Amino acid sequence: MLERTLKKDRTEVTFVLPADSPPGPVSVVGDFNDWNPGVHTLKPRKDGRRAVTIELPGEAVHSFRYLAAGDYWFNDESAGDQDGPNSRLHT
């Protein structure tokens, strides 16, 4: 799930996943972090879900995927758009 907070010249995007699905550590990787795993690792929240917030430029389009343990790549169905095998995010 994606949560967006609009700011003056940027958008804060929070990437949210359930606490244990998939199990183990999960990173969000995309063109905004040069597809480097581990840069944006989801952390536990008080509500039990995992999340990470990233500031992105406003009025932009980004491609991303999640990477879980065991080299398991998956998309965010709430993104609503695809760029080939990747989820697409409009800020």
Domains and CATH numbers, the chain: 2-79 (2.60.40.10)
Residue environment code for 4-40, b if the CB has 16+ CB neighbours within 10 A, otherwise e: eeeeeebbebbbbbeeeeeeeebbbbbebbeeebeeb
Q: What is the pLDDT of residues 42-83, one digit of tens each?
A: 999 999 999 999 999 988 899 999 999 999 999 998 887 888
What pLDDT does residue 65 have?
Answer: 97
What pLDDT does residue 30 have?
Answer: 97
What pLDDT does residue 20 have?
Answer: 85
What pTM did the predictor assign?
0.91
Residues 8-17, mean pLDDT to the nearest whole number: 93
What pLDDT does residue 58 have?
Answer: 83
